[in-house]
């Protein structure tokens, strides 16, 4: 599922509600058949791979930044996650490779490299639920295209919710939800919503960049 809409429409707030960071005061969010308010929030978030716009990079090795919760790092999974996130070649060219220490908050890394490490972290976790909030907005077009293609294969059998403004990231979603001022105004896939010539069509028409 992709969530799109203009800036300030409530996309990130909706993601935070689904992750249990905010209490649901009206209506209901169900995870399977269970009301999210009845779930242990820490347990629920452990089931999720999350890449938020303001994701945290630790003052640790690259390996430990990707395999955050793993006592013994699985090297095969680590390499695969880095490959999917298109960060493997960069890391392997460093003298200490995955043992390279990163400065606090990712000092020494570009914004795009930080995003790719955060994506690799979510992939390494291999969760059933994945939430991506503008996860590729700092990447150049070539890197983004490669990562989106890699992630499309990784998503098989998983529940994925994406907030994005780039058409390339959302057009292949099974379901696209259009939000305006905190309310859902349209739902469908890319073809059906484009044919309706409504809110989604207007977002696409504006530079083919959703929400810019």
Domain boundaries, the chain: 1-47+129-212, 56-126
User: Which backbone phi and psi does 159 adopt, to 5 degrees?
Assistant: -95, 120
Structure tokens at 98: 């995955």
Q: Specify the CATH superfamily of domain 1-47+129-212.
A: P-loop containing nucleotide triphosphate hydrolases (3.40.50.300)
**Spatial CA neighbour of 68 closest among 95, 36, 34, 102:** 102
Q: Residue 145 corresponds to which tokens in the numbers above?
A: 């295209």
Q: 56-126 has which CATH code?
A: 3.40.50.300
How far, in Å, are 30, 70, 77, 140 from residue 118 at the CA level?
26, 15, 15, 16
Give pLDDT tens digits for 10-32: 898 999 999 999 988 888 999 98
Kindly give, in sequence order, each residue whose CB lies less than 8 Å from that of residue 9, ignoring residues fewer than 6 positions away.
179, 180, 181, 182, 211
CB-based contact 61:108 (threshold 8 Å): no
Kindly report the pTM of this predicted structure: 0.87
Query: One fold for both 1-47+129-212 and 56-126?
Result: yes
pLDDT tens digit sequence for 112-165:
899 999 999 999 999 999 999 988 777 877 888 888 889 888 998 899 999 977
């Amino acid at each position: 599922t992709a969530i799109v809409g203009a800036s300030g429409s409530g996309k990130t707030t909706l993601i935070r509600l689904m992750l249990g960071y905010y209490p649901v005061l009206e209506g209901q969010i169900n995870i399977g058949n269970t009301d999210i308010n009845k779930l242990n929030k820490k347990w629920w978030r452990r089931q999720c791979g999350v890449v938020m716009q303001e994701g945290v990079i630790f003052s640790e090795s690259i390996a430990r930044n990707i395999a955050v919760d793993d006592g013994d790092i699985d090297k095969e999974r680590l390499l695969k996650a880095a490959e999917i996130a298109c960060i493997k070649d960069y890391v392997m060219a460093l003298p200490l490779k995955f043992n390279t220490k990163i400065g606090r908050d990712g000092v020494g890394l570009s914004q795009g490299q930080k995003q790719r490490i955060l994506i690799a972290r979510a992939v390494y976790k291999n969760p059933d639920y994945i939430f991506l909030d503008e996860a590729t907005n700092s990447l150049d077009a070539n890197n983004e295209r490669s990562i989106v293609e890699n992630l499309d294969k990784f998503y098989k059998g998983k529940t994925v919710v994406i907030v994005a403004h780039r058409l390339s990231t959302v057009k292949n979603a099974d379901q696209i939800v259009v939000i305006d001022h905190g309310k859902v105004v349209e739902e469908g896939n890319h073809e059906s919503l484009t044919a309706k010539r409504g809110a989604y069509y207007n977002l696409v028409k504006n530079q083919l960049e959703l929400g810019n």
